[in-house]
Amino acid sequence: MAQIEDIMTIAPVIPVLIINDPAHARPVAEALVAGGLRALEVTLRTPCALEVIAEMAKVDGAVVGAGTVLNGDDLKRSVDAGARFIVSPGLTANVANAARAASVPLLPGTANASDIMRGLDLGLTHFKFFPATAAGGIPALKALSAPFGQARFCPTGGIKAETAAEWLALPSVLCVGGSWLVPAGTPDVTAITARARQATTLAA
């Protein structure tokens, strides 16, 4: 089984995807992979999300995960659809234990010290910092990182192409989640690939 750190270090940005049409799944995944972004988070925010995961999982080179996983049932359905990692907006023992039972890497959401301590109690050291901007931005994550030197983060929520590099400069940050790579609507695959290529240089 891959470790969540393996997923987080594939590229500096994990695209956070809300796909409303399964027909867009493969073109979007192919465009992102062509641009160098292989780890893809498909959020369970649309009725077709599991179908999108299944389609994207067929794309050579793509490492597809499920986001907005709220409980064990969401996790099982996502894994059955082909998800290779799980992202949750929060941290619960239910989801953590389900991920452990399914042998699937988990990136749970945290926003404060209590969340991180609960995660550490569950044997976790890698977290999503969410919602990153609303939860206090870079100053908040710097402050949280100080007492938790073993913790590593993927800030997500409110991060833009223009601000991602500032987050990635933090020693505790391995990657960021970005929704700017694939705007809503019919995908422009050329533009998506160009944005993906630019995103791969953010940590340079």
Q: How far is CA 13 from the centre of its chain?
A: 8
- Residues with active-site annotation: 41, 128
Contact 75, 55 (CB under 8 A): no
Please return the burial class of 147, using the count of CB atoms within 10 Å of its CB with bins 0-12, 13-18 and 19+: exposed
- CA dist 43 and 186 (Å) reads 17
- CA dist 142 and 152 (Å) reads 11
Q: Which two tokens stand for residue 201?
A: 């240089």
For 8, residues 6+ apart whose C-beta sits below 8 A from its C-beta are 14, 39, 107, 126, 152, 154, 174, 175
